[in-house]
A and B are shown apart, each in its own frame.
Chain A
Amino acid sequence: MPKVFWVRCPACQRDYYVDTKLKGTDRPLLCPFCKTTFRESESPRVRT
Chain B
Amino acid sequence: MPETRPADLRTFIEGLRRERPDDILELEGIDLRYQLSALQWKLETQGLFPFIIVHNAITAQGERSKFPVVTNMFASRARCAWALGSTPERVSFTYAEKVRKRLEPEVIPNEKAPCQEVVKQGKDVNLLELPAPIHHEWDPAPYLTAGFCTMKWPDLEAYNDGLHRAMIRDRYTMATFLSFAKHNWYILEENNRRKVPTPVVFWLGHHAGVYFGAQARAASYHDEYTLPGAFTGTPFRLTPSVTWGEKFLVPADAEFVIEGEILPGEEVPEGPFGEYTRYYGEQRYSPLIHVKAITHRKDAIFQDILVSHADNHVMGGFPLEGRVYESVRANVASVRNVHLPLSGCCRFLCYVQISKQTEGEGKLAAALALPTDSRIKYVVVVDDDVDIFNEAEVLWAVATRTKFPDDAIIITDVIGEGLDPMGTDTGLVTKVGIDATRPIATAFAEKVSFPREVLAELHLDRLVPRHILERLPRS
Complex alpha-carbon distance, A1 and B285, angstroms: 19
Question: Do A35 and B140 touch across chains, with their CB atoms under 8 A apart?
Answer: yes
Task: Determine if B423 is an interface residue (Cβ-Cβ < 8 Å).
Answer: yes
Known interface pairs A16-B138, A28-B269, A32-B139; A1-B424 also in contact (CB < 8 Å): yes
**Which B residues are in CB contact (< 8 Å) with A28?**
269
Question: Do B282 and A17 touch across chains, with their CB atoms under 8 A apart?
Answer: yes
Question: Do A32 and B272 touch across chains, with their CB atoms under 8 A apart?
Answer: yes
Question: Do A3 and B283 touch across chains, with their CB atoms under 8 A apart?
Answer: no
* Chief secondary structure at chain A's binding surface: mixed
Task: Determine if A18 is an interface residue (Cβ-Cβ < 8 Å).
Answer: yes
Known interface pairs A29-B283, A30-B283; A3-B269 also in contact (CB < 8 Å): no
Say which residue of A3, A16, A32 sits within 8 Å of B421 (CB atoms).
A3
Which of B138, B139, B269, B423 has the most chain A CB atoms inside 10 A of its CB? Answer: B269
Question: Do B140 and A3 touch across chains, with their CB atoms under 8 A apart?
Answer: no
Question: Do A3 and B138 touch across chains, with their CB atoms under 8 A apart?
Answer: no
Which of A17, A19, A37 has the most chain B CB atoms inside 10 A of its CB? Answer: A19
Question: Do A17 and B425 touch across chains, with their CB atoms under 8 A apart?
Answer: no
**Which A residues are in CB contact (< 8 Å) with B283?**
16-19, 22, 29-30, 32
In the assembled complex, how far is the CB of residue A38 from the closest CB belonging to chain B, in whole angstroms? 10
Say which residue of A19, A30, A37 sits within 8 Å of B282 (CB atoms).
A19
**Which A residues are in CB contact (< 8 Å) with B140?**
30-33, 35
Question: Do B272 and A16 touch across chains, with their CB atoms under 8 A apart?
Answer: yes
Question: Do A29 and B269 touch across chains, with their CB atoms under 8 A apart?
Answer: yes
**Which B residues are in CB contact (< 8 Å) with A30?**
140, 269, 283
Task: Determine if A24 is an interface residue (Cβ-Cβ < 8 Å).
Answer: no
Task: Determine if A20 is an interface residue (Cβ-Cβ < 8 Å).
Answer: yes
In the assembled complex, how far is the CB of residue A48 from the closest CB belonging to chain B, in whole angstroms? 11
**Which A residues are in CB contact (< 8 Å) with B139?**
32
Question: Do B423 and A3 touch across chains, with their CB atoms under 8 A apart?
Answer: yes
* Chief secondary structure at chain B's binding surface: loop
**Which A residues are in CB contact (< 8 Å) with B424?**
1, 3
Known interface pairs A27-B285, A30-B269; A1-B425 also in contact (CB < 8 Å): yes
How many interface residues does chain A have, given as a range? 20 to 34
Task: Determine if A47 is an interface residue (Cβ-Cβ < 8 Å).
Answer: no
**Which A residues are in CB contact (< 8 Å) with B271?**
32
Complex alpha-carbon distance, A29 and B140, angstroms: 12
Question: Do A19 and B285 touch across chains, with their CB atoms under 8 A apart?
Answer: yes
**Which B residues are in CB contact (< 8 Å) with A35?**
140
Question: Do A3 and B285 touch across chains, with their CB atoms under 8 A apart?
Answer: no
Task: Determine if B280 is an interface residue (Cβ-Cβ < 8 Å).
Answer: yes
**Which B residues are in CB contact (< 8 Å) with A2?**
425
Question: Do B425 and A21 touch across chains, with their CB atoms under 8 A apart?
Answer: yes
Question: Do B272 and A17 touch across chains, with their CB atoms under 8 A apart?
Answer: yes
Complex alpha-carbon distance, A4 and B320, angstroms: 28
Identify which of residues 269-292 in chain B touch chain A, using a CB-to-CB cut-off of 8 Å. 269, 271-272, 280, 282-285
Residue of B nearest to A18 (CB): B283
Question: Do A17 and B269 touch across chains, with their CB atoms under 8 A apart?
Answer: no
In the assembled complex, how far is the CB of residue B402 from the closest CB belonging to chain A, in whole angstroms? 31
Question: Do B423 and A17 touch across chains, with their CB atoms under 8 A apart?
Answer: no
Residue of B nearest to A5 (CB): B282
Known interface pairs A3-B425, A28-B269, A29-B269; A17-B280 also in contact (CB < 8 Å): yes
In the assembled complex, how far is the CB of residue A43 from the closest CB belonging to chain B, in whole angstroms? 12
Known interface pairs A16-B138, A32-B140; A4-B282 also in contact (CB < 8 Å): yes
Other than the given A16-B280, A17-B282, A18-B284, 20 more pairs (CB < 8 A) read A1-B425, A2-B425, A3-B424, A3-B425, A16-B283, A17-B280, A18-B283, A19-B283, A20-B425, A21-B284, A21-B285, A22-B284, A30-B269, A30-B283, A31-B140, A32-B139, A32-B140, A32-B271, A33-B138, A33-B140
Q: Which residues of A contact B (CB under 8 A)?
A: 1-4, 16-22, 27-33, 35, 37
29 contacting pairs across A/B (C-beta < 8 A): A1-B424, A2-B425, A3-B282, A3-B424, A4-B282, A16-B138, A16-B280, A16-B283, A17-B272, A17-B283, A18-B282, A18-B284, A19-B285, A20-B425, A21-B285, A21-B425, A22-B284, A22-B285, A28-B269, A29-B269, A29-B283, A30-B269, A30-B283, A32-B138, A32-B271, A32-B272, A32-B283, A35-B140, A37-B269
